[in-house]
Amino acid sequence: MSRLVYVLNGPNLNLLGKRQPHIYGHETLADVEANCRRVASELRLEIRCHQSNREYGIIDCIHEAREIAAGIVINPAAFTHTSVAILDALNTFEPPVIEVHISNVHKREEFRHHSYVSLRADGVIAGLGTQGYQLALRRLAHLLDRAAAK
Ligand code: DHK
């Protein structure tokens, strides 16, 4: 059984560490991905990380994941609140999906309170900083272990 997980990041997250650090913290995307790789190897997961500032970049990755992946961790960033297309793409993907937000979107502007992606996500993590990605991977590993034990 595949233990490949896609870790997808949406627009502006390439600027992590430089962008509004009081909201998104000081770690760069490279730091976040390195931490994900470390946790993934501990959990015996294989991961592929991808960031795109373009909606179609995220959608193409979801389509690629459809063929081969056992789970997706996704921070769609601003597309969370706007993208029916990303929701539709995730609805073509059967294995578990965990939605991650670095900040607590519910404590922020009202337009950030609604997520199209949450209509599909099996779990949502918000406001736990960049640690949210690692916790999402732990949850996916747990779900995969549980499925394999059945
Ligand atoms: C990241 C963004 O870029 C925002 O557009 C979202 C999300 C929140 C985050 O907290 O990771 O509203």
Task: Please say if 142 is a catalytic residue.
Answer: no
| 29-42 and 131-149 helices, crossing angle to 10° | 30
What is the rounded CA–CA span in Å between residue 8 and residue 116?
A: 16
Task: Please say if 116 is a catalytic residue.
Answer: no
Show the 3-state SS of 100-118.
Answer: EECCCHHHCCHHHCCCCHH
Q: Is the pTM of this model over 0.75?
A: yes
Edge-to-edge order in the sheet of strand 123-126: 46-51, 4-9, 71-75, 97-101, 123-126
Per-residue pLDDT of the chain (150 residues; tens, 9 = 90+): 789 999 999 999 999 999 999 999 999 999 999 999 999 999 999 999 999 999 999 999 999 999 999 999 999 999 999 999 999 999 999 999 999 999 999 999 999 999 999 999 999 999 999 999 999 999 999 999 999 998
Ligand 1, atom 3, lies closest to the CA of 77
Which among 55, 98, 102, 125 is the best mutation to test ligand 1's pocket, defined by most ligand atoms within 8 Å of the CB? 102
Question: Which ligand 1 atom minimizes the distance to the CA of 75?
Answer: 11
Question: Which ligand 1 atom minimizes the distance to the CA of 108?
Answer: 12
